[in-house]
Structure 1
Amino acid sequence: MSPKAEISLAHNGRVRITTFNVWTSWKISLLLMLRYGFFRWGTYIPPITDEAIHPSYYRLKLKIHAGWDSWCGYDWLAENEATDNFLKFFYQKHFKK
């Protein structure tokens, strides 16, 4: 059984994958970098209150924002329509039962 992750639409209408499981967050991160060729760039802002901002993932025209907050857990948010499609594919391949 795959670790728990959920896919939904964020408030801005973009696709978002979320999980509260730290091991699932590592799985997603490692898959994005090692299997799909994303690199990370940006500033890490630690969780001083109830949210953190992690470096984003980049590959060609794809950009995925990453972060953590106490309400949603770890999350990966698409930047554009191409990234929406990629995250849908990614979720279906790695987390759909």
Structure 2
Amino acid sequence: MRPTLQTAANSHLTIDFNALPESHWEALTTRLMETGGFHRIGQTVMGLDEAILPSFQRAGLTLAAGWNIWSGHYLLSECAAGDEFLRTLFSELGTEGFLPPV
């Protein structure tokens, strides 16, 4: 199942990566930190079928990160700037061949 971009319960956008391989998630986290200017904040909190992962933060923007059995890994915006960032990221990932073909 391909990643999806949708509105979450907090009224902001989320990218659910669904069945994206772990290696793709790791490559994305590296990309966000090395070229996106983000750093990680917080600690991992594990549950039975979910995990809250360290958030990605840069000036004026924080993206929550996590994993659960329904969405796979996900990035969750918490503000309008985060919504715009996730829209752009989702579009770029598809055009760069990062996401699996339809």
Structure 2 length normalisation: TM-score?
A: 0.83
- Residue 62 of structure 2 aligns with an amino acid whose one-letter code is K
Q: 1:32: Cα distance to partner? A: 0.8
Match of 1:91 in 2: 90
> What secondary structure sits across from 1:76 in the alignment?
strand
Residue segments in structure 2 that go unaligned for 5+ positions in a row? 98-102
Contact 2:51 2:67 in 1 (8 A): yes
Aligned-partner Cα distance in 1 for 2:57–2:88: 17
Matches within 5 A, 1:70-81: 70-81=69-80
TM-score by length of 1: 0.86
- Counterpart in 1 of 2:6? 8
RMSD: 1.5
Superposed, which structure 2 residues align to 1:1-97 within 5 Å? 4-19=2-17, 20-21=19-20, 22-46=22-46, 48-96=47-95
The aligned length equals 93
- Deviations along 1:66-85, one digit per CA (max 9) or x if unpaired, are 00011111000001001100
Q: Check 1:5–1:30 CA distance in 2 against 1; reply closer, same or farther (3 A cut).
A: farther
Identical aligned residues as a percent: 30
Give the Å deviation of 1:12: 1.7
Flag as ranges the 4+ runs of structure 1 deviating above 3 A: none
Flag structure 1 segments of 5+ consecutive residues without an equivalent: none
**Could you tell me how far 1:24 is from its partner in structure 2?**
2.3
Distance in 2 separating the partners of 1:7 and 1:29: 17
- For the residues of structure 1 that align with 2:61 and 2:90, how far apart are their CA atoms? 16
- Corresponding residue for residue 100 of structure 2: none
